[in-house]
Amino acid sequence: MKIIRKIREMQAEAEKIRINGGKIAVVPTMGFLHEGHMSLVDIAKKHADHVIVTIFVNPTQFAPTEDLDKYPKDFKRDCELCESRKVDAIFNPDCKEMYPGDSSVWVVEERLSKGLCGRTRPTHFRGVTTVVAKLFNATLPHFAIFGEKDYQQAAIIRKMVRDLDFPVKIITGPVVRESDGLAMSSRNKYLSPDEREKALSISKALQEARQKILRGERTAGKIIGGINLRISQNGGRVDYVEIIDSETLEPLKKIDGKAVIAVAAFFGTTRLIDNISV
């Protein structure tokens, strides 16, 4: 497994693969890898003969008040995990390599990124779209794999690829959960045992909501109310609970087609997100 730290070197490697007729799939991550990430590697393997995992904690998607400095890292363990899943290369640039200091061009999506996480994190998605565009230019992939855990992010990347004609096919993988239902996340490491227990209320509330819908409830407000209550009773501070159209991400009042229930909530200072499709 190669570990590549320079953009030019990554591009040269990708060009070599392409000239030899190889297919490249990239899995962009911020590291501190878990089975959620590795499930995307497994999907990548099915589509391409060369899998590149990018590991870069992207400063431009964090607000000054957020957890950039304490974002968890374990590069050695990440390498071992990737090696064991037969990843071909890790692209691990440093900040100076990605943002040499005089960057002044951004990729901005202006519709899907306004709501949900974009409401309380207004500069987050332009950081994401910009870094993903840069990672695509470095790794020259045929396929890029994203998790449905970050549902809004995947929708925005699809839109970016469509609107800017990136020759990359976006593939998504389902949310991978711990055995008790908590969505896997690098940020779960921040939770105290007590917070970890209480944070389970997010996935439980989403399951309860699904049951209500199966029993015939269609009014979004009632379902949202139930989720809010369950999370706040468990000491969580809800950032948002929304039921949205699965494509446009527009909030729905009535559920009469494919919808997604999306939640963001704080437990202590840790902000967690989760969603289910209904």
In the shown chain, the binding pattern of residues 139 to 178 toward ligand AMP, with x for contact by CB under 6 A and - for none, equals: -------xx-xx----------------------x-xx--
The arrangement of strands across the sheet holding 2-4 comes to 2-4, 89-91, 50-55, 24-29, 143-147, 169-173
203 makes contact with ligand AMP (CB under 6 A) = no
Compute the least distance from the CB of residue 186 to ligand AMP, in Å.
5
Letter string b/e over residues 161-198, b meaning 16 or more CB atoms within 10 A of that residue's CB: beeeebebebbbbebbebeeebbbbbebebbeeebbeb
- Phi then psi for residue 54, to 5 deg, are -100, 135
Q: CB neighbours (10 Å) of residue 123?
A: 16
Q: Which of 163, 130, 131, 170 is nearest to 148 (CA)?
A: 170
Token output for 255: 């559920």
Query: Is 37 marked active-site?
Result: yes
37 makes contact with ligand AMP (CB under 6 A) = yes
Q: CA end-to-end span of the chain, whole Å?
A: 39
In the shown chain, the binding pattern of residues 68 to 107 toward ligand AMP, with x for contact by CB under 6 A and - for none, equals: ----------------------------------------
Compute the least distance from the CB of residue 147 to ligand AMP, in Å.
2
In the shown chain, the binding pattern of residues 213 to 232 toward ligand AMP, with x for contact by CB under 6 A and - for none, equals: --------------------
Using the minimum distance from each CB to ligand AMP, give the nearer residue, 29 or 129.
29
Compute the least distance from the CB of residue 125 to ligand AMP, in Å.
13
Compute the least distance from the CB of residue 97 to ligand AMP, in Å.
18
| Kind of pairing between the strands at 89-91 and 143-147 | unpaired
Three-state DSSP class for residue 272: strand
From the candidates 34, 37, 47, 50, give the one annotated as an active-site residue: 37
Options 25, 36, 107, 160; binder of ligand AMP; rule CB under 6 A:
36
Compute the least distance from the CB of residue 56 to ligand AMP, in Å.
9
Letter string b/e over residues 203-227, b meaning 16 or more CB atoms within 10 A of that residue's CB: bbbbeebeebbeeeeeebeebbebb
Can you tell me which residue has the tokens 């609107």? 163
Binding residues for ligand AMP, rule CB under 6 A, total 17
Could you give the residue numbers annotated as active site? 37
Interacting residues toward ligand AMP by CB under 6 A: 29-30, 36-37, 39-40, 146-147, 149-150, 173, 175-176, 183-186
